[in-house]
Structure 1
Amino acid sequence: MRNFTALLFCLGLALTAHADDALRTAQLADLAVVRDDYLPKELAYTAATRALAQAKLGELEARAGSLSPAELLVGLAQVGALTDNAHSGLRYRDPRALPAARLPLRLLWFPDALIVARATGDAADLAGARVLAVEGLAPAALYQRTRSLQGGSEINRRKYLPGLIESLGVLQAIGVAKDADRIALKLRLASGRVVERVVAMVANDAVAPTAEDERLWLPQPVTHEAKWTTAISNDALPIYLADAGEPFRTVPLPEIDALYIQFRSNEDEPGRPIAEFTARVEAEIAAQKPHNLILDLRFDIGGNLLTTLQFMRALPAKATGRTYLLVGNYTYSAGIVSAAAVKKGGGERVTVVGEELGDRLAFWSEGGRVALPNSHFGLRYTNGTFDLKDGCAAIPQCLDKLVDVNFVALAPQIAAPLTSVAYLAKRDPALDAVRKDIERKRDK
């Protein structure tokens, strides 16, 4: 019997060693793709940051076979984030790459607070709560500990970090959390009461679907979503949050002699060709003859900039009065180029309203994605660049000539940030500011 037990023990050791060897082989194969395929294609690195990325990759290779899925995810995220470029880095949209579990809630990082935008199950009562601490760290300190996972501007990093923070093992892998599968939170509930809660992760398929970050603002249910509680109710919504299923919208505002135009995307969406929408806008302007136009690009997250470039450039000339250009933290990529086209096309007749853009005016984009065969993570590389503020003609990969909208300023002339306070109160600071400006000009 003793010999049989010893045999089983030895067999177990052999199987464990075989499994470790297989994992090491798989992880080394993935890391080889990063080194041989991703790094040479990614042009957003400087010489210094490329060297840092290569060194980080070397650390991962030395630990291959012992890396947990979360540790591999964190390491790859840091390799990509060293580009300091919003369009570059880790992607895990392949369902096979998703962490096995996640928190039963979704977070949004506003300029003034970290908020639970959606929650389900045992955490449902946390919807609308303000996060005061995560594992004992205030949101500002949490950001400093996790910012290495995401590249780009500070706004862009804050915008996309919550998806990682909510995922199994990530906070543990980066040294913030003690446990992989639960997170200690301190929150101020919508009622004002402060609570401390340890929230356990749940299987990904138990909380699916999880919407894109910008969609979390809209309280209407996501397709196939059930039993989620949202931070705000689905009634009496401000214009910018209404009609969640419509990527492109117009709303006449006769009381201020204006037409409100909203783009939540910059490309064709299912059943919504963008060219049909821009043609409809032109027809509405011709029929209604509004004195003012209000163009809301605050949630234009990008797409194909060429689909609307000429439309945006010509739009301000169609108003007899002013064009108010609404921009914000989710105005991104082709959305930024669109905003630049409006401002350059309309000059002083365009008033920029809102808050800081979702990325810098100089950024790398285009490119493609490299897929890793075993973890199924992807890494987005970029090989074309824009500089809408100062121009980039001296750089061979410069794409400014395709758009001719550089040398513009898009800092808000009227500051109107979308704070958590305004969001939870269902107010729109930007549209309120536009109304006030129009009425002030009327009274002169």
Structure 2
Amino acid sequence: MKGIFTLICSFMLFLQLTAQDTVNTNWKEDISYLKELIDSEYPFLYKKISKDDFHAAASELMAQAEDAEDHEMVVGLMKLVSSFGYGHTSVGLRDTPFSLRQLPLNLKEFKDGIYIEGSQEAFAADVGARVLKIAGEDVKEVYKKVYPYFPAENSQFFKAYGMNFLITTELLAGEGLIENPLSEVSLTLLKDGLEYQRVFAPMEKGERAPTAYGYTKNDEGWISARDTTSSPNYLKHLDRIYYSEYMPDHNTMYVRQSQIQDDSLMAIPEFYDKVFREIEEKNIEKLVIDVRLNGGGNNYKNKAVLKDIITHPEIDSLGHLFVILGDRTFSACQNLVNELDNYTNAVFVGEPTGENINFYGDNNKEELPHSKIPVYLSFAWWQDKPQWENQQWLPPHVAVQMSFEEFVNNQDPVLDAALNFDDDGFILDPMGHLTTLFMKGDIETLKKDAFMLSKDERYTFFDLESRFVEVGERLANTGQVNEAMFVYQLNTELYPESVASWYGLAKTLKKSGKMEEAKGAGQKALSLAKDQTELQTELKGFLEDF
């Protein structure tokens, strides 16, 4: 009897798996069509990945088509399109036969780890637990495995919009962590000091947690880890695109704007005119604009915000204007913060944005001929800053990350940092400051301040190491070898494990005729480049000259 029951269960599972793969699709022709379409109409997307590498990945996926199941081809297609590395360039599976399955959870990443921020009520006991392992594998390793399937411009964008890829069963199956997309998944959790395991079955295809800006809503049978009977400012009135609140204890006007769209009650120009009238009437000293939830909209609507700020110099000054950034700051809001950085004296507080500073946005919907899967391909290049100022994100001047406990208790360390900002000794433009010291020849102060910047938590997201490497390269390429050597040498003192700095130092030492020192720096770089095969080959070639 037990054998018959097992046979029936196995047959039912087979029927379920077959049911999710019944679409008659010629995957080879779909992928070939996509490849030709990009080559002919979107060749500019070959920026972060070369055409040859993309073609090789496409050919590899096509070679799997005959033996692969549909869900395997779908996630392969996601990975292929995500290789362009632009958030607006993606595969759309919602409301298609190929929509994916997730566990009945909503994951969020905080300063101290990845947590179950919300779940179906049946798993209320697990809400607030930290995730340690998924399907027996360390959550950090699972993160690395599923990251390439998401169209992330940087890790912040994945943090904001892609964390639930860690519990998407088609991806877990594709990476060999579970048998198939219908398999139950065991999570190792930590809550109240107790480590334990819980097994979750995936939801129906396309079913998702009810959320507002990524946070679970306490309805539709779901529960949030946070006490939602009260909310911090950034989570207040989420039914409105923007709202303002005067904070008399700090004589500060707080504004939360979560889209670059007009609210139905008041358009953006009228809203900001109203905000600044109140600032004038009450002699308010500070303005905080919170865009940590803002995923964009219509960047032509940014003008009103800039105009009102620039025409109020009492606000547009250091220590009086603050902009809160976060991982969801993206698209048209990236344009907004770029312009605020260019034209105002805003102090940015919080975490880096989820978008590259300059980026491809505004996509076209292209439908694959057989599967009918929509693929969204970006066509508009948005460049608010010179190419040499482009970075993976816009970093905050003051870095503040939220812990899970702070989130659960409705605390807001990011807003607190803005309200209590002290500009005494604060360096708003670190590279500008260090460049000025360098030009003045004040090397002692330059070194002291550089070491301070590399250690101070407020500058956590200011990538001084990479910026110094870029400066060293520019100096070396313009024949300023001694200056480049100084920059590289300083960078090796600040960041002793920096391969690029040691290699740059080796090349400049060689140019200056200091062959033994160059050889030593090259050997140091080679010893650090353990997992970088191509760089190791290049370094070995460099060292053959000695």
- What range describes the TM-score normalised by the shorter chain of this pair? 0.7 to 0.9
Task: Find out whether 1:164 has 2:177 as its counterpart.
Answer: no
- CA deviation digits over 1:51-105, x for unaligned, max 9? 2222222223223354333312211111112112222222223354422x32111
| Structure 2 Cα separation of the partners of residues 57 and 140 of structure 1 | 27
Query: Match of 1:246, as an amino acid?
Result: R
Helix, strand or coil: the match of 2:382? strand
Unpaired runs of 5+ in structure 1? 1-18, 393-404
Q: Which residue pairs with 2:466 in the alignment?
A: none
Q: Which residue pairs with 2:194 in the alignment?
A: 193
**Are residues 87 and 255 of structure 1, via their aligned partners in 2, closer, same or farther at CA, if it must alter by over 3 Å?**
same
Helix, strand or coil: the match of 2:162? helix
Query: Match of 1:141, as an amino acid?
Result: E
| Structure 1 Cα separation of the partners of residues 187 and 310 of structure 2 | 47
CA contact (8 A) 1:317 1:346 kept: no
| Structure 1 Cα separation of the partners of residues 185 and 264 of structure 2 | 37
Q: Which residue pairs with 2:374 in the alignment?
A: 378
Q: Which residue pairs with 2:338 in the alignment?
A: 340
CA contact (8 A) 1:362 1:386 kept: yes
Task: Find out whether 1:358 has 2:354 as its counterpart.
Answer: yes
**Are residues 260 and 22 of structure 1, via their aligned partners in 2, closer, same or farther at CA, if it must alter by over 3 Å?**
closer
Helix, strand or coil: the match of 1:383? strand
| Structure 2 Cα separation of the partners of residues 251 and 368 of structure 1 | 38
Q: Which residue pairs with 1:241 in the alignment?
A: 235
CA contact (8 A) 1:119 1:125 kept: no
Query: Match of 2:155, as an amino acid?
Result: E
Query: Match of 1:329, as an amino acid?
Result: D
Q: Which residue pairs with 2:540 in the alignment?
A: none
**Are residues 283 and 70 of structure 1, via their aligned partners in 2, closer, same or farther at CA, if it must alter by over 3 Å?**
farther
Q: TM-score, with normalisation over the residues of structure 2? A: 0.66
| Structure 2 Cα separation of the partners of residues 58 and 382 of structure 1 | 22
| Structure 1 Cα separation of the partners of residues 147 and 94 of structure 2 | 20
Q: Which residue pairs with 1:44 in the alignment?
A: 45
CA contact (8 A) 2:240 2:263 kept: no
Q: Which residue pairs with 2:226 in the alignment?
A: 232
Cα deviation, residue 209, structure 1: 5.6
CA contact (8 A) 2:338 2:385 kept: no
Cα deviation, residue 299, structure 1: 1.1
| Structure 2 Cα separation of the partners of residues 40 and 283 of structure 1 | 52
- CA deviation digits over 1:321-362, x for unaligned, max 9? 411111121111111211122232223xx2111111112213
Q: Which residue pairs with 1:285 in the alignment?
A: 279
Cα deviation, residue 319, structure 1: 5.9
| Structure 1 Cα separation of the partners of residues 229 and 173 of structure 2 | 39
Q: Which residue pairs with 1:435 in the alignment?
A: 419
Helix, strand or coil: the match of 1:308? helix
| Structure 1 Cα separation of the partners of residues 24 and 180 of structure 2 | 24
5 Å-filtered alignment, 1:244-323, equals: 244-268=238-262, 273-318=267-312, 320-321=314-315, 322-323=320-321
Query: Match of 1:187, as an amino acid?
Result: L
Q: How many residues align?
A: 398
Query: Match of 1:369, as an amino acid?
Result: K
**Are residues 368 and 163 of structure 1, via their aligned partners in 2, closer, same or farther at CA, if it must alter by over 3 Å?**
farther
Of 398, 410, 432, the residue aligned with 1:414 is 398
Helix, strand or coil: the match of 1:382? strand
Query: Match of 2:306, as an amino acid?
Result: M
Q: Which residue pairs with 2:490 in the alignment?
A: none
| Structure 1 Cα separation of the partners of residues 51 and 404 of structure 2 | 37
- CA deviation digits over 1:192-222, x for unaligned, max 9? 32221121112247x55644xx6233x544x
Once the two structures are overlaid, the 10-residue window that deviates more, 253-262 or 178-187, is: 178-187
Once the two structures are overlaid, the 10-residue window that deviates more, 318-327 or 381-390, is: 381-390
Helix, strand or coil: the match of 2:360? strand
CA contact (8 A) 1:86 1:153 kept: no
Q: Work out the percentage of aligned pairs sharing the same amino acid.
A: 21
| Structure 1 Cα separation of the partners of residues 49 and 310 of structure 2 | 43
| Structure 2 Cα separation of the partners of residues 67 and 368 of structure 1 | 28
- CA deviation digits over 1:171-202, x for unaligned, max 9? 1112233342222211113x332221121112
Of 308, 324, 327, the residue aligned with 2:325 is 327
Helix, strand or coil: the match of 1:202? coil
| Structure 2 Cα separation of the partners of residues 70 and 208 of structure 1 | 18
Structure possessing the higher radius of gyration over alpha carbons: 2
CA contact (8 A) 1:258 1:292 kept: yes
Q: Which residue pairs with 1:102 in the alignment?
A: 102
| Structure 1 Cα separation of the partners of residues 144 and 323 of structure 2 | 32
CA contact (8 A) 1:370 1:378 kept: yes
**Are residues 29 and 280 of structure 1, via their aligned partners in 2, closer, same or farther at CA, if it must alter by over 3 Å?**
farther
Q: Which residue pairs with 2:538 in the alignment?
A: none
CA contact (8 A) 1:332 1:357 kept: yes
Helix, strand or coil: the match of 1:318? coil
Q: CA RMSD in A?
A: 3.1
**Are residues 243 and 440 of structure 1, via their aligned partners in 2, closer, same or farther at CA, if it must alter by over 3 Å?**
farther
CA contact (8 A) 2:324 2:414 kept: yes
Query: Match of 2:190, as an amino acid?
Result: R
Q: TM-score, with normalisation over the residues of structure 1? A: 0.80
CA contact (8 A) 1:313 1:345 kept: no
